[in-house]
Amino acid sequence: MGGRPPATDRPARRPVAPDGLVVVDKPGGWTSHDVVGRGRRLAGTRKVGHAGTLDPMATGVLVLGVGRATKLLTYVVGADKDYDATIRLGAATTTDDAEGEVVARADASGVGRADLDRAIADLTGEILQVPSTVSAIKVDGKRAYARARAGEDVALAARPVVVSRFEVLDVRPVRPGEAAHEPVLPDDASPALDVDVAVTVSSGTYVRALARDLGAALGVGGHLTALRRTRVGGYGLDVASTLEELEAQADRDGVLATLPLAAAARATFPVRDLTPQEATALSYGQWIPATGTPGTTAAVSPEGELVALVEDTRRGGADLAKPVLVLAPA
């Protein structure tokens, strides 16, 4: 007879992982949602989220939050990020990357290094950037990429971003039919240039859009052919694990290991070491004396537990630190 198998035939539920962060080295071909799904199975809980979407073609650092650590992800998302990328000059695509359809080609063999450096300088610093039309930005409640795929014209407003580093690592000519360069140019295509770059950008910056705008500035079109995120805030590839490594660790130890809340916070925020009295007050949502540090500060108890995130403000003529997120409630 049909129906579900007996409960004894189902895989045993994994023990729930401790609250904390998991830094994943995302493989190519996976969506960020795919990685969250695998993370939920490994962590034994559905309370898993991610900080900052990576496109399926991209690889590298994807920060997952487990349990109470999902509340920290909003702050991790806002951190600056490092990427290694390859930009192909000589073709523009519908998605600003290699997964889209080519809409225009031009001979890029005449692009000199001086022209390239000038165009990159114009895209460095505080700039206004129009996001890619296939981005996850919502337009009237619907994702831009969904509207674009439905054939709608998508017009996104330019937004201020900061590109604090845009460094050329290598420039390679690409000729039609050459198998040494991926993706291979069609035989009837014009010569192209592959430019390997390293960039550091603020939250909300689209590296695909940098590739598009670089190609447009040089008059030859451009798109991404490779993208690897090497850092999100205080979390780099040096602390990232592949999904296979995480699975092996969880199988070996019986539970998925996470970066504890306090350690995770130390990688993102300045730290305020609390007195026992301050830790108790914060756990009740009360205000404490100011930290003297601008922005958000992690408040850690004498036992090393992350109690809250606090921000300095002024109230009643006094400088105080107010809790903006309490992680260890009374």
Mean predicted confidence (pLDDT) in 274-278: 97
Mean predicted confidence (pLDDT) in 164-177: 94
What whole-number distance in Å separates Cα of residue 90 and Cα of residue 223? Answer: 8
Among candidate residues 9, 19, 34, 55, the one labeled active-site is 55
Question: Quick one: 116 and 223 in the same domain?
Answer: yes
pLDDT at 254 (0 to 100): 94
Q: Is the pLDDT of residue 245 over 70?
A: yes
Asked if residue 2 is part of any domain, the answer here is no
The reported pTM is 0.88
Asked if residue 54 is part of any domain, the answer here is yes
pLDDT at 2 (0 to 100): 44
What whole-number distance in Å separates Cα of residue 146 and Cα of residue 44? Answer: 31
pLDDT at 150 (0 to 100): 55
Query: pLDDT tier at 6 (50, 70, 90 boundaries)?
Result: very low
Of the spans 101-105, 125-129, 146-150, 313-317, which averages the highest pLDDT? 125-129
Asked if residue 134 is part of any domain, the answer here is yes
Q: Is the pLDDT of residue 9 over 80?
A: no
3-state helix, strand, coil in the chain (%, to 5): 25, 35, 40
Beta bridge mates, 228: 59, 84
Catalytic status, residue 238: no
pLDDT at 5 (0 to 100): 42
Burial annotation 301-312 (CB, 10 A radius, 16+ → b, else e): beeebbbbbbbb
Amino acid identity of 4? R
**Nearest-10 crossing angle of helices 113-122, 207-218:** 130
Asked if residue 6 is part of any domain, the answer here is no
- Residue 296 has a CB neighbour count (10 Å cut-off) of 18
pLDDT at 4 (0 to 100): 42
Asked if residue 127 is part of any domain, the answer here is yes
Backbone angles phi, psi at 185, to 5 degrees: -70, 140
Question: Quick one: 121 and 211 in the same domain?
Answer: yes
Mean predicted confidence (pLDDT) in 66-86: 95
Asked if residue 43 is part of any domain, the answer here is yes
91-104 residue pLDDT tens: 999 889 998 899 99
Mean predicted confidence (pLDDT) in 35-56: 95
What whole-number distance in Å separates Cα of residue 323 and Cα of residue 130? Answer: 35
Mean predicted confidence (pLDDT) in 181-192: 85
Asked if residue 251 is part of any domain, the answer here is yes
Mean predicted confidence (pLDDT) in 166-171: 98
Q: Which of 155-164, 214-223, 228-237, 303-312 has the lowest mean pLDDT?
A: 155-164
* Number of domains comprising the chain: 3
Question: Quick one: 151 and 172 in the same domain?
Answer: yes
Question: Quick one: 213 and 123 in the same domain?
Answer: yes
What DSSP string runs through 25-47? EEPTT--HHHHHHHHHHHHTSS-
The residue with tokens 């007050």 is 281
Q: Is the pLDDT of residue 18 over 80?
A: yes
140-149 residue pLDDT tens: 555 555 555 6
Asked if residue 123 is part of any domain, the answer here is yes
Tokens for 20, please give them. 């904390």
Q: Which of 236, 255, 250, 259 is nearest to 62 (CA)?
A: 236
**Mean pLDDT of the residues in the chain:** 90
H-type helices in the chain, by residue range?
A: 32-43, 73-77, 113-122, 144-149, 207-218, 243-253, 261-266, 276-283
Question: Quick one: 221 and 85 in the same domain?
Answer: yes
Domain of residue 288 covers 269-326
